[in-house]
């Protein structure tokens, strides 16, 4: 593909203009590995300051109008007030992430724990998260369970599935209106022998059992190396069960690096499946979220970079010549079909994205504009003292 014809150009620009990417509150706070958290100056001290950072990302990118919260990391007394503050800043509160993995009681699991009292406590937290959604106006409850076992024989795999199904049913029954339950899977970590929701098949089966409000979340860092994630995307799209993404990059395990940094081609292949299913538009209902930790790099700038990486992959996916691709596929022309896809992937879409931003009244180079804005210098001066909020805060 050398020249982009005007009709294609318009189609791509329109698709990109509609795109929405949700950023996670925890990406703005300090994070690290189990070895060390390197604190950065100017990171948010409370959920309000995280929302302000998210609003800054939206101001420079124009496509990140919502921020996901993690409860209890983002616990406040008045969620409606936080939602009001977000609105003033130009963003909205998005997905509510439950957290049943950081309490001593959950050593042997949360909703799958053999002790019914612990299960009741965990389910209580899930229901509390729906109360938060009622106050914030959030649509999605995202559930990830660290539950699992470390040793063969430690607990009954089947009984744990029953306990899980019961907890999911209670959370699902509590939802009203447009609210949805998003179930996230992860192969391993922190459990090292068996995880209770290890893969998309398990998540899908539970969501099927629950009903229409229940959808699967694909976190791109939660698979075995070499897993064909775009296949999972295509399968779940066909089944009407793909609710959301947690985007990030990984080289080894759940690295939570910037999306599109380790394998931009994989991100393109994922977005190709999305575009082919016409699932990019917000009305389709997929929440495109980031789930990242910026351990050594400046955080707001890293989130801006991540949003741009998703936009680039999306632009390339939108550029695929569908007529030529279908033709080659129907004719069994393996090499031509592959060439059509690679032509789109190998197109430099950065000029197109600059054009998009100009049309949207934004600076064509969001990273440079953010750096020029002096935001980091200002928050570094303002946000001194107090407890820095982040992973585990």
Q: Which residues bind ligand LRH (CB under 6 A)?
A: 26, 97, 144, 184, 186, 219, 246, 254, 291
The string of DSSP codes covering 168-207 is HHHHHHH--TT-EEEEE--SSSS-SSEESS-SHHHHHHHH
List, in order, residues 6 or more apart from 219 with CB less than 8 Å away.
Answer: 144, 184, 185, 186, 245, 246, 248, 254, 291
Nearer to ligand LRH (CB atom), residue 61 or residue 97 = 97
List, in order, residues 6 or more apart from 360 with CB less than 8 Å away.
Answer: 17, 62
- Over the window 334 to 353, marking each residue x when it contacts Mn ion by CB under 5 A and - when it does not, the resulting string is --------------------
Tell me the residue number closest to ligand LRH, measured at CB.
144
Residue 140 binds Mn ion, judged by CB under 5 A: no
Q: How far is the CB of 239 from ligand LRH (least distance, A)?
A: 22
Mapping DSSP to helix (H, G, I), strand (E, B) and coil, where does residue 245 land? strand
Nearer to ligand LRH (CB atom), residue 46 or residue 291 = 291
Nearer to ligand LRH (CB atom), residue 22 or residue 246 = 246
Contact present, 217 and 183 (Cβ < 8 Å): yes
Contact present, 56 and 99 (Cβ < 8 Å): no
Cis, peptide link before residue 286, omega less than 30° from 0 = no
Residues in 255-314 that interact with Mn ion by CB under 5 A:
291
DSSP symbol at 244: E
> Which member of 246, 273, 312, 363 binds Mn ion (CB under 5 A)?
246
Count residues near Mn ion (CB under 5 A): 4
Helices 200-210 & 229-238 angle (0-180, nearest 10): 10
Nearer to ligand LRH (CB atom), residue 50 or residue 186 = 186
Contacts 24+ apart (CB under 8 A), 75-79: 75/47, 76/46, 76/47, 76/48, 78/135, 79/132, 79/135, 79/136
When CB distances are held under 5 to 8 angstroms depending on the partner's kind, the choice from ligand LRH, Mn ion, none that residue 266 binds is none
Residues in 6-45 that interact with Mn ion by CB under 5 A:
none
Nearer to ligand LRH (CB atom), residue 219 or residue 363 = 219
Report d(CA 219, CA 253) in Å as an integer: 12
Mapping DSSP to helix (H, G, I), strand (E, B) and coil, where does residue 246 land? strand
Report d(CA 333, CA 339) in Å as an integer: 10
When CB distances are held under 5 to 8 angstroms depending on the partner's kind, the choice from ligand LRH, Mn ion, none that residue 215 binds is none
Nearer to ligand LRH (CB atom), residue 174 or residue 186 = 186
> Which two structure tokens, joined as six digits, stand for 147?
């539950």
Q: How far is the CB of 290 from Mn ion (least distance, A)?
A: 9
Q: How far is the CB of 248 from ligand LRH (least distance, A)?
A: 8
Q: How far is the CB of 26 from Mn ion (least distance, A)?
A: 10
Nearer to ligand LRH (CB atom), residue 107 or residue 158 = 107
Residue 219 binds Mn ion, judged by CB under 5 A: yes
Q: How far is the CB of 2 from ligand LRH (least distance, A)?
A: 40
Nearer to Mn ion (CB atom), residue 143 or residue 376 = 143
> Which member of 22, 46, 254, 312 binds Mn ion (CB under 5 A)?
254
- Give the binding site for Mn ion (CB under 5 A): 219, 246, 254, 291
């Amino acid at each position: 593909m050398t020249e982009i014809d005007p009709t294609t150009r318009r189609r791509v620009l329109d698709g990109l203009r509609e795109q929405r990417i949700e950023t996670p509150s925890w990406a703005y706070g300090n994070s690290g590995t189990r070895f060390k958290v390197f604190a950065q100056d100017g990171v948010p001290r409370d959920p309000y300051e995280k929302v302000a950072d998210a609003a800054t990302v939206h101001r420079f990118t124009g496509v990140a109008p919502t921020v996901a919260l993690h409860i209890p990391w983002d616990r406040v007394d008045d969620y409606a007030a936080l939602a009001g503050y977000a609105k003033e800043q130009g963003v909205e509160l998005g997905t509510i992430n439950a957290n049943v993995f950081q309490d001593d009681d959950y050593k042997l699991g949360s909703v799958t724990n053999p002790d019914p009292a612990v299960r009741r406590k965990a389910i209580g937290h899930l229901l509390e998260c729906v109360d938060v959604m009622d106050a914030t106006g959030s649509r999605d409850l995202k559930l990830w369970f660290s539950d699992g076992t470390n040793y063969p024989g430690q607990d009954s795999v089947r009984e744990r599935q029953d306990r899980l199904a019961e907890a999911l049913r209670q959370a699902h029954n509590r939802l009203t209106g447009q609210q949805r339950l998003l179930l996230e899977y992860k192969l391993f970590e922190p459990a090292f022998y068996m995880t209770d929701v290890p893969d998309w098949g398990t998540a899908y089966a539970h969501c099927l059992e629950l009903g229409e409000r229940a959808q699967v979340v694909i976190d791109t860092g939660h698979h075995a190396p070499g897993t064909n994630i775009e296949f999972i995307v295509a399968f779940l799209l066909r089944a009407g069960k793909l609710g959301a993404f947690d985007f990030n990059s990984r080289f080894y395990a759940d690295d939570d690096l910037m999306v599109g940094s380790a394998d931009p081609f994989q991100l393109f292949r994922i977005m190709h499946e999305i575009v082919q299913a016409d699932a990019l538009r917000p009305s389709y209902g997929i929440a495109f979220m980031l789930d990242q930790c910026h351990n050594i790099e400046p955080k707001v700038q890293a989130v801006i970079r991540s949003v741009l990486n998703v936009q680039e992959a999306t632009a390339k996916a939108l550029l695929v010549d569908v007529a030529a691709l279908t033709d080659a596929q129907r004719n069994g022309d393996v090499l031509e079909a592959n060439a059509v896809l690679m032509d789109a992937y190998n197109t430099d879409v950065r000029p197109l994205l600059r054009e998009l931003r100009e049309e949207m009244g934004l600076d064509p180079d969001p990273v440079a504009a953010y750096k020029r804005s002096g935001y980091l210098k200002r928050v570094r001066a303002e946000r001194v003292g107090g407890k820095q909020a982040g992973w585990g805060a």
